[in-house]
Structure 1
Amino acid sequence: MKKIIFLVLTFLCLNVYSQQKDPVWHTDANKAINLSLQTGKPMFLFFTGSDWCIWCKRLVSEVFDKKEFKDWANKNIILLEVDFPKRSPQSEELKAQNSQLQRTFQGLIRGYPTGIFAQPVLKDKDVQFSVIGSEETGFSLGYVRGGAKTWILEANKRLKTKK
């Protein structure tokens, strides 16, 4: 009996340990920037209207909520959600931060959802962003029909242009 209990507990512990954690969707840009600088991983800034944008909701449910995306994101990028909700409350600090990020990337955001891969760079104690992509691949990535696998293929095309 003790052996059976031991085996069951061992199996449960291994199962819990083997499950990879979901990637963290940061909302604090400074935390995401610092993590990107520490790890060398590029950031993925997801510009969204979480409570009103149907294409944003589809992107989340068809791609970001899938195990394949979560595994890929954990290995490759730092996630930052830049949200512009209409009904959900946000702090004034978060609204100001998100508006500033939208101004920083204004030429690349033509609607929601828009995702931008960027590498933060420290220059004279100021953070600047080096956008990742090319004329061929594009500099932003939004909803892509075909699910997580197709979206990841498109993302990898952009990330391959990273210098």
Structure 2
Amino acid sequence: MKKIIIAFVLIVASATAQAQTAKPLVWETNLEAATKVSLKTKKPLLLFFTGSDWCGWCIRLQNEVLKTPEFAAWTKDNVVLVELDFPRRTPQQPEIQKQNAELQQMFQVRGYPTVWFATPTKTDGKTNLAQLGSTGYVAGGPAKWLEGANQILANKK
């Protein structure tokens, strides 16, 4: 019985330590800050247009793909994450609302979730975004979604 208790304690302690060391994904909400990181790391932007507090497909994409370990591992080498949220109940700062509306218009986003991949460039202090491609919810979990994302990112090279 002691061995079972000790084994259980070790498993729980190991899982807790692993959960504490796993870094959560950083989703930038400010395009200017994300652009700086993108230019520095030479990674394209992943622009996630979402209705976080009302869009069922957005929540489904989050749960099935964007919150998985596979997606987290993939992002480290491939993209800078940017969340462009259009909530109905959650308050948002006016400058973020304005930025998100401008980007929604620029990328002609008509439905949610929409994920655009773009490469930023700076010219005369002005940011330009070269569109690489877009996707949305894809059934099949992280492997299927990442397969499509990798095909879009292949356009960058």
TM-score, normalising length: structure 1: 0.82
Q: What CA distance in whole angstroms lies between the structure 1 residues aligned with 2:89 and 2:31?
A: 22
Equivalences for 1:56-71 in 2 at 5 Å? 56-71=58-73
Aligned to 2:137: 143
Deviations along 1:61-91, one digit per CA (max 9) or x if unpaired, are 0001100001101121000000000111001
Aligned to 1:34: 36
Counterpart amino acid of residue 95 in structure 2: E
Aligned to 1:45: 47
For residue 105 of structure 1, report the CA deviation from its aligned partner.
1.0
Aligned to 2:115: 115
Counterpart amino acid of residue 110 in structure 1: R
How many corresponding residue pairs? 144
Q: What CA distance in whole angstroms lies between the structure 1 residues aligned with 2:46 and 2:150?
A: 12
Counterpart amino acid of residue 142 in structure 1: G
Aligned to 1:4: none
Superposition CA RMSD, Å? 1.9
Q: Unpaired segments of 5 or more residues in structure 1?
A: 1-7, 133-138
* Identity within the alignment, %: 45
For residue 20 of structure 1, report the CA deviation from its aligned partner.
4.4
Deviations along 1:84-124, one digit per CA (max 9) or x if unpaired, are 00111001111111111112212xx2310000000001122
Q: What CA distance in whole angstroms lies between the structure 1 residues aligned with 2:24 and 2:117?
A: 19
3-state DSSP class of the match of 1:161? helix
Counterpart amino acid of residue 135 in structure 2: L
Deviations along 1:15-64, one digit per CA (max 9) or x if unpaired, are 65x94423211111111011001100000000000001000000000001
Query: Runs (4+) of structure 1 moved beyond 4 Å?
Result: none
Counterpart amino acid of residue 53 in structure 2: D
Aligned to 1:135: none
Q: What CA distance in whole angstroms lies between the structure 2 residues aligned with 1:46 and 1:53?
A: 13
Equivalences for 1:73-84 in 2 at 5 Å? 73-84=75-86
Q: What CA distance in whole angstroms lies between the structure 2 residues aligned with 1:121 and 1:152?
A: 25
Counterpart amino acid of residue 86 in structure 1: R
